[in-house]
Chain A
Amino acid sequence: MRAEGPIPVSLFFTCLADAFSPGVCSATVEVLERFGATVNVPLSQTCCGQPAFNSGNRKEARAMARKFLLSFPDDGYIVTPSGSCATMVKHGYPALFRDEPRTLARARAVGERIHELSGFLVDVLGVTDPKSDFSGKVTYHDSCHLRRGLGVAEQPRKLLRAIPGVEFVEMEESDRCCGFGGVFSIKYPQISCRMTERKVERILATGASYVTAGDLGCLLNIGGLMSRIGYPVKTIHLAEILAGKTAATSVAG
């Protein structure tokens, strides 16, 4: 475990969770506080600009990124319950500001300080037991940006396995894209759905009652398809499992 004393953490709650799953944000705060963090929530934050960046609209993405950089204080950790938003700040911002040395330096510094929740708990705080009373059979979906963008794959599994009430079961192709891809799912919804169907098949095959992930976007997508079809599996964000919630955020819930 980390040294004694309060750990200053600024929460980047993400616009998606803010609007659609505020429970995910509250759960993140709860877990961070449980392990000694003093959580500060900058209320001027909005969106990191990922949808604009990923669709090639860099002018708009830069405007949002500048706002993001101004919204967070100059020191301490920044933690977010989203692999893709953290990846955007860490890897997207340097690309956005490659021609602006001063902003680039600031972006890189902020990128050094930003962590996704499960990676932060395991790698920074050294948490081995999340102290969660969640119970149920759970499978885990590796969101692409969390796994490939941040290299966080073992950390959430370690945490899940350490919860006494959780029966953790791996799905096949857990690291295969669920088909969301932000703007991709709007531009090519049929292909996106085909990919989501394949993901859902793999989830159902595990017999799990819950599917969890470190990215709300994937969960909304997977949950959206399961809700339409009426499948019994609930989508739940990893933060909520760690916090010990039993109510799922899912649209299928």
Chain B
Amino acid sequence: MELTANAFGRNARKALLDKTLQEALGRTTGRFLAHRDAAAAAFPEFEATRERASRIKRDVLDHLDTYLARFIEEAEKRGTIVHVARDAGQAREIAARIARDEGVTLAVKSKSMAAEEVSLNEALEGAGVTVVESDLGEFIIQLAGEAPSHIIAPAVHKTREQVSRLFERHLGEPRTDSIPELVGMARRHLRAKFLSAGMGVSGGNFLVADTGSVVLVTNEGNGRMGTALPRVHLAVVGIEKVIPRMADLPTFLRLLPRSASGQTISSYVSIVTGTRRAGDPEGPERMHILLLDCGRSAILEGKYREILKCIRCAACLNTCPVYQSVGGHAYGWVYSGPIGAVLTPLLVGLPEAAALPDASTLCGACADVCPVKIPLPDFLLELRSDARDQGLKTPGEIAAMKGYAGVMKRAGLLEAIERIGGVLGQFFTKGKGIGGLPYPFSGWTERRDFPAPAAQPFRKLWKIRRGVTR
């Protein structure tokens, strides 16, 4: 996927002017958020469960090697072929090789952010495979030639009218306003693909170390069909998704749907453990798991390791006032919202995405809702500091900060500046607000006034009260 994270400002301005997007954002994120809050309030153990999940994930990160080795051993015992990709290029090579070796020409794919991360579709298409997205949202944006803009609702930015037009153009279906009818059209189209595809591609919400299972949490039947019907199943999953035991799964299954959409449980939870055994009515004959490192080991070694606790619920997106204002595409890569603002610079390198950590007011709403308690605002602050250390700040900002600190180190100097400011402020604004500040503050006053400095700052007033003469 093309990386435009550093164009966040430009992307965001475009998004702010996109009326359809603005309506969709208000509608969907608000609904998800309200449902999430209600679900959290109605579940008395929510806080305790969050705490337990956070602890389990921290333990996973402390012993990731051990748990991964266990996972691989158990999965292989059950006939699964496990591959590990160091980087995106290697992931694409492995996926293409699997498709060629298995003789696949059509693949049905269910939603996977990990697959987006390595541009898996391109790799498969390069190997002569037609890839059909089978998640409704993904199917829609595939027809539109776009990327997902939300972790759990990839087509959140599309209206039903836009979807209907896409279906008319690409599937030859009649125009309709009815959502059930649109869903029916997609279902009919996709069912034929499920029945003829040689391979099903999925992501994975959890990898269970003690059973070698891949767990898929979905709200559409597509994940189940894609993993049960085709001859081959390929699951693409980040290495950090491993959990120690099957007994830990309920903790996460309680948190993920509640945090994501406010559901008590998702419509489908598929636990895929190995290939079809003798007597099994369904299931793949061959199963591959492609584990993605792609920068994760490096993150694990550093101060941001807790970001790997993320279970991709998107609660932080839904609650983030910046995400709600500009949507997912503005963030310029696979992951958006607060999690994207932290994860993207870590995965693609801070110089490629230094604009993202600044894309937050540090309001802290994301940390309030994170089911595994990732300190997202602290990480945003830390990344901003890294940007300074890595020479990614503009000389203007550094000079301004040095000047500001220079003044603030001396109360007398500050007082002198306030006195001049007070005189100028009163002179130019006659006690009213300032309507236009010079660059780089000009954006601030484009639609807002800024107050004029007071004629007598408090320090002066206090000195007068105390009878202190200068």
Contact = CB atoms under 8 A, between A and B. Distances in A.
Given A22-B456, A57-B397, A251-B449, 5 more contacts: A20-B454, A57-B398, A148-B367, A177-B365, A184-B361
Contacts of B363: 144, 148, 176-177, 181
B447 A21 contact: no
B322 interface: yes
Given A20-B454, A63-B409, A149-B364, A221 B401 contact: no
A194 B448 CA distance: 11
A225 B405 contact: no
B405 A54 contact: no
Contact of A181 (B13, B326, B362): B362
A193 B401 contact: no
Nearest to A193: B447
Given A63-B405, A144-B364, A194 B385 contact: no
Contacts of A162: none
Interface in A158-199: 175-177, 179-196, 198
14 contacts: A22-B454, A41-B462, A45-B411, A49-B405, A52-B404, A55-B397, A60-B402, A148-B368, A179-B321, A185-B361, A185-B444, A186-B441, A191-B359, A227-B433
Contact of A17 (B13, B378, B458): B458
B401 A144 contact: no
B459 A18 contact: yes
Nearest to B12: A191
A209 interface: no
Contact of B381 (A17, A53, A188, A221): A53
Interface string A16-29: 01111110011000
Interface residues of B, number: 66
A240 to B, nearest CB: 13
Nearest to A55: B384
Given A67-B409, A148-B364, A193 B448 contact: yes
B361 A15 contact: no
B381 A186 contact: no
Nearest to B359: A188
Interface string B378-410: 100101111110000100011001101101111
A195 B13 contact: no
Contact of A22 (B9, B321, B457): B457
A184 B446 CA distance: 15
B74 to A, nearest CB: 40
Contact of A56 (B385, B408, B459): B385
A252 B454 CA distance: 15
B421 A251 contact: no
Nearest to A196: B448
B41 interface: no
Contacts of B385: 56-58
A191 B433 contact: no
B359 A220 contact: no
Contacts of A51: 404
A3 interface: no
A227 B449 contact: yes
Contact of A190 (B16, B378, B414): B16
B443 interface: yes
Interface string A146-161: 0011000000000000
B388 A190 contact: no
A43 interface: yes
A21 B448 CA distance: 18
Contact of A43 (B381, B405, B462): B462
Interface string B1-27: 000000001001100100000000000
A194 B364 CA distance: 18
A195 B444 contact: no
A43 B459 contact: yes
A72 to B, nearest CB: 13
B77 to A, nearest CB: 45
Contact of A186 (B326, B407, B444): B444
A220 B450 contact: yes
A77 interface: no
B289 to A, nearest CB: 39
B440 interface: yes
A145 B357 CA distance: 18
Contacts of A224: 433, 444-445, 448-451
Nearest to A178: B361
A164 B336 CA distance: 47
A17 B322 CA distance: 27
A109 interface: no
